[in-house]
Structure 1
Amino acid sequence: MKKLLSLTLLLSTIALSAQDTEETTTEKSFTVSGSVDAYYQTNLTSTDKAIFGDDLDEAQSFGTSFANQTGFALGMANVILAYESGKVGAVADLAFGPKGDDATGGYNINQLYAYWNVSENTTLTMGRFNTYLGYEVISPTGNFNYSTSYLFSSGPFSHVGLKADFALSDDFSLMLAVMNPTDVNNNTTGDYSFGAQLGYSGQYLNFYYDSGVVLGFEVDYTGGFDVSDDFFLGINAAYNDNDGSGFYGAALYPQYGINEALSLGVRGEYYGLHYETGDDDTVLGATLSANYKVDNLTIIPEIRLDSWNEDTYFDNDLEPTKSLAAFTLAAIYTF
């Protein structure tokens, strides 16, 4: 009954906002866009070989999503097909390669949804769409750093469900959603999740809730400020709890544009895992990245150092250590 009531309230809100819909001339458009990325990575404080036996094909890594291979490695080929006719449209966002497999669970479908611009201020979307939680995104074209944060890796990647976006004013926005449990394409448990986002002038307060079947409860703040014409500061903070266990953390993203082609940026992140026992595991990470653009190609050299409160990695002598450092060189082409 609660799930039916939530769906009814969401649809009723959409219907009320649709009353100001105006007739417009139908316009049709079809676009193809996407990206291709690859990288090279080597550990600076540990061997690049698998250290637990020859049967493993991965060396030590930070444990965050995607860029976890050493040597030369593939990211993904991303192809986005978008069609719009008048007030309605559809998007098929396809992802292939190791990163695509990790992000989609092997479906190769990053996003697949249809939408209806009910009015100038209301859009209804149904299908699979990327998460509204967090600062970073799946596509490398949307991130300044090539490697991803612990906050991004711990939170959801995508949702399958129904959402409504409302432009309340020039500054305020609201999103409401009813979805399957996060990152679940086929709902076999009968559980649903609920999401909300309140936006103000580029700052977003995000909420997610399910009954504990996947993520439990998460609150997330994502935003940023133009400190000057050349200096931008991005911010992300989140807290998650699922029956007494979960994660929390905060990250800062200062970025400085030296000229039109070259920018420098740092991601500083504090992240923790909390447990029912009351113990916490924490990590402090620093990632220095440069973005150099040549037409549609972005080259990202990056140095990353993470340090946990407990021995988590092994050094060059295969002795336990709290820290790991790595160098990555990535190439991202957009079209």
Structure 2
Amino acid sequence: MKKLFTLSMFFIACSLFAQEEETEEKKSFEFSGSIDAYYRANLTAPNDENAIAPGSSFANLPGFSLGMANLVASYEGEKVGFVADLVFGPRGTDAIFASPMYSATGDIVNQLYAYWNVSENVTLTMGNFNTFLGYEVISPVANFNYSTSYLFSYGPFSHTGLKADFALSDDFSLMLGVFNDTDLTEFNPTGDYAAGAQLGYKDQFLNVLLDPSFFEIDFTGGFNISDEFFLGINAAYLSLEDDAGGFMGAALYPQYTVSDTFSIGLRTEYFAEDGAFGAIGSGVEDTSVIAATITGSFTIEDNLIIKPEIRFDSASDDAFIDNDLAATKSLGSFVLAAIYSF
């Protein structure tokens, strides 16, 4: 009888311990982030005080330059959680270009949101979060290429509002949301609101954003051609209200894994403006650009990634303008980036 009692107590203790472990697994606090720095030089243009750069965001400063420090605190519970994503440095400043609007520290808040898992298939999220459109993201850790595409640079960066994510099946997902005007992160100064939707099927996503000042439709996806070869795809069309212009473009991202520590990838992009949207060159109307970027990715002890990159941009007009207003149609450049994540 004593042995049976002892054995029963043992199983009860194991059960309580397992439940405690399960609870701990469901509730976790995590602190993560990254830092990045780079060297950039033009191959076909001067590198003095009049140095020019592609008209896309980030990695466009001359010489040895800073990216950003990215600090992310997150809590994931069984039902609720939050993300506080802070950025410091030039890349962060470019990403939060419309802040501060009210607070003195609005320009360091990349994301700040809370979420509620209403059920296994429904999640509500409220706050500020990075955009659901496009293939590339703000953090250099999640991008294969270090410099960014025109499609990414002139699409939305972030939204502040409320969204609902639905897992419709193992293959289909749906997101519906209502937001402030695009990239107005801290509050709503206009009284207008945007609406967004995303339909996903096996990691292929069709995105729509209806903003008071523009309409954008975007396709983002990718395919594992083999264990070593991946092909990413992004295409988008944006139209400003009252036929005031816009843009369209497409990009392919073939990437090949050579070994556990080295991969190589190519981004080829066509981007065209309707009117003088301003994405390629200030005041240049109805112009287009073809850009090719080849990037190597060396992983050193999991946390450090070294990325050498060569990029060529060729526009239909004199779109690359230096500080002396000298212009050229094409530009070749080199970047060497170091990215550390934790």
User: TM-score, normalising length from structure 2?
Assistant: 0.85
SS of structure 1 residue aligned to 2:31 = strand
Using the TM superposition, give the Cα deviation of residue 174 of structure 1 relative to its aligned residue in structure 2, in angstroms.
0.1
Give ranges in structure 1 of 5+ residues lacking alignment.
Answer: 1-23, 52-58
Structure-1 separation of matches of 2:46 and 2:276: 35
1:95 aligns with 2:87: yes
SS of structure 1 residue aligned to 2:152 = helix
1:37 aligns with 2:41: no
1:45-60 mapped onto 2 (5 Å cutoff)? 45-51=44-50, 59-60=51-52
1:1-335 mapped onto 2 (5 Å cutoff)? 27-51=26-50, 59-105=51-97, 106=99, 107-185=107-185, 186-212=187-213, 216-243=214-241, 244=243, 245-275=245-275, 280-295=286-301, 296-313=303-320, 320-335=327-342
Using the TM superposition, give the Cα deviation of residue 29 of structure 1 relative to its aligned residue in structure 2, in angstroms.
1.1
Which structure: larger Rg? Answer: 2
Structure-1 separation of matches of 2:237 and 2:208: 10
SS of structure 2 residue aligned to 1:166 = strand
Structure-1 separation of matches of 2:55 and 2:176: 32
Q: For residues 173-209 of structure 1, what are the alpha-carbon distances to aligned partners after superposition, in whole Å with 9 as ceiling and x for unaligned?
A: 0000000011002211100000000000010000000
Flag the 1:321–1:156 CA change in 2: closer, same or farther, 3 A: same
Amino acid aligned to 1:113: Y
Q: Which runs of 4+ in 1 moved over 6 A?
A: none
SS of structure 1 residue aligned to 2:287 = strand
Amino acid aligned to 2:228: D
Are the equivalent residues in 1 in contact too, given 2:35–2:68 (CA < 8 A)? yes
Q: For residues 123-180 of structure 1, what are the alpha-carbon distances to aligned partners after superposition, in whole Å with 9 as ceiling and x for unaligned?
A: 1000000000000000001100000000000100000000000000000000000000
Amino acid aligned to 2:68: M
Are the equivalent residues in 2 in contact too, given 1:46–1:314 (CA < 8 A)? no
Using the TM superposition, give the Cα deviation of residue 83 of structure 1 relative to its aligned residue in structure 2, in angstroms.
1.2
Task: Give the total of aligned pairs.
Answer: 300
Flag the 1:328–1:28 CA change in 2: closer, same or farther, 3 A: same
Structure-2 separation of matches of 1:32 and 1:163: 24
Identify the range of structure 1 (320-329 vs 300-309) with the bigger mean alpha-carbon deviation: 320-329
Using the TM superposition, give the Cα deviation of residue 314 of structure 1 relative to its aligned residue in structure 2, in angstroms.
6.2
Structure-1 separation of matches of 2:298 and 2:163: 37
Are the equivalent residues in 1 in contact too, given 2:266–2:295 (CA < 8 A)? yes
Are the equivalent residues in 2 in contact too, given 1:264–1:289 (CA < 8 A)? yes
Give ranges in structure 2 of 5+ residues lacking alignment.
Answer: 1-21, 100-106, 278-284
Q: For residues 282-305 of structure 1, what are the alpha-carbon distances to aligned partners after superposition, in whole Å with 9 as ceiling and x for unaligned?
A: 000000100000121010000000
Amino acid aligned to 2:224: D
Using the TM superposition, give the Cα deviation of residue 276 of structure 1 relative to its aligned residue in structure 2, in angstroms.
8.6
Amino acid aligned to 2:163: K
Are the equivalent residues in 2 in contact too, given 1:175–1:196 (CA < 8 A)? yes
Residue in 1 that maps onto 2:13: none
Structure-2 separation of matches of 1:254 and 1:333: 24
Structure-1 separation of matches of 2:329 and 2:150: 16
Structure-1 separation of matches of 2:62 and 2:273: 26
Amino acid aligned to 1:325: G
Are the equivalent residues in 1 in contact too, given 2:55–2:320 (CA < 8 A)? no
